[in-house]
């Protein structure tokens, strides 16, 4: 298939320049993001196809599985291509399927960074994101420990996930923040103010769950109408809209299917007119 990722533009992350259309690996786990995927070989094939198609940003986390996701990435791709950025996250403890608990104690964050390095087979995590801020632990302790790990050379850049503008600015007083990863798509723009702030400050905004679902993607919707007009799928239009939204945005759609992966990356060939962008809102 013909895919031209350079047409999506690039963004600076973790000391690297990566295409703004990346891959979120969370789907390559069991139900509830718990345990191994039903078909591990298929998960490996998806990851290898990701790299074959030129994607050089893969997002994961120690909590996906937990641990399983990072292990599969290493199995599929190590030794890694020189231009590949694997962004991972720490700060969540898992107690079962769909159960997530923020833990930001310094000793725990340090332990998980060390274990992610081992699982991924890396000497440094080029982009390490605090998965969630733990309200029971001071922000200074959480980000202070990540800064210490950065100073030791075990972390390249520090990012945040699921944060407000106020939390972002408090964090920036402790350590330089390279990226924010929040949920954002055509259907869910709760973090519009965070995206706008990131754009003003030149901070990368990584959109997770980037494909519009629900009312905006049903038959007869604006998404479907635009998709028919440009000869694309609703998923591709959702991603193209997102990449057009701001030059600081990177999108990390995930899937456990090679066919769906190729469909998503086909968004790189979709060009939307100002009128179509206006119709999408």
DSSP 180: E
Select which of 64, 92, 191, 208 is catalytic: 64
CA gap 96, 271 in Å, rounded: 42
Burial class (CB within 10 angstroms; exposed 0-12, middle 13-18, buried 19+) of 41: exposed
Burial class (CB within 10 angstroms; exposed 0-12, middle 13-18, buried 19+) of 119: buried
Report the SS3 class of residue 178.
strand
Q: Give yes or no: 64 in active site.
A: yes
Helix%, strand%, coil% for the chain, nearest 5? 45, 20, 35
Q: Which residues are catalytic?
A: 64
């Amino acid at each position: 298939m013909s895919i031209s990722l350079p047409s999506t533009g690039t963004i600076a992350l973790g000391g690297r320049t990566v295409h703004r259309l990346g891959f979120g690996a969370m789907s390559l786990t069991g139900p509830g993001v718990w345990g191994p995927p039903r078909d591990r070989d298929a998960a490996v094939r998806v990851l290898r196809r990701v790299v074959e198609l030129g994607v050089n940003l893969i997002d994961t986390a120690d909590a996906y599985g937990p641990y399983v996701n990072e292990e599969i990435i290493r199995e599929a791709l190590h030794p890694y291509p020189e231009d590949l950025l694997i962004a991972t996250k720490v700060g969540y403890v898992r107690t079962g399927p769909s159960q997530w608990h923020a833990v930001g104690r310094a000793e725990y964050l340090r332990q998980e960074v060390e274990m992610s390095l081992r699982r991924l087979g890396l000497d440094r995590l080029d982009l390490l994101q605090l998965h969630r801020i733990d309200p029971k632990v001071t922000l200074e302790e959480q980000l202070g420990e990540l800064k210490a790990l950065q100073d030791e050379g075990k972390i390249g850049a520090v990012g945040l996930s699921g944060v407000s503008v106020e939390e972002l600015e408090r964090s920036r007083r402790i350590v330089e923040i390279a990226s924010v990863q929040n949920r954002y798509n055509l259907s869910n723009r709760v973090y519009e103010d965070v995206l706008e702030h990131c754009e003003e400050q030149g901070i990368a905004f990584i959109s997770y769950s980037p494909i519009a679902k629900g009312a905006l993607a049903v038959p007869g919707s604006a998404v479907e109408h635009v998709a028919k007009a440009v000869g694309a799928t609703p998923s591709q239009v959702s991603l193209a809209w997102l990449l057009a939204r701001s030059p600081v945005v990177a999108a990390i759609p995930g899937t456990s299917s090679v066919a769906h992966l190729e469909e998503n990356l086909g968004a790189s060939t979709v060009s939307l007119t100002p009128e179509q962008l206006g119709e999408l809102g």
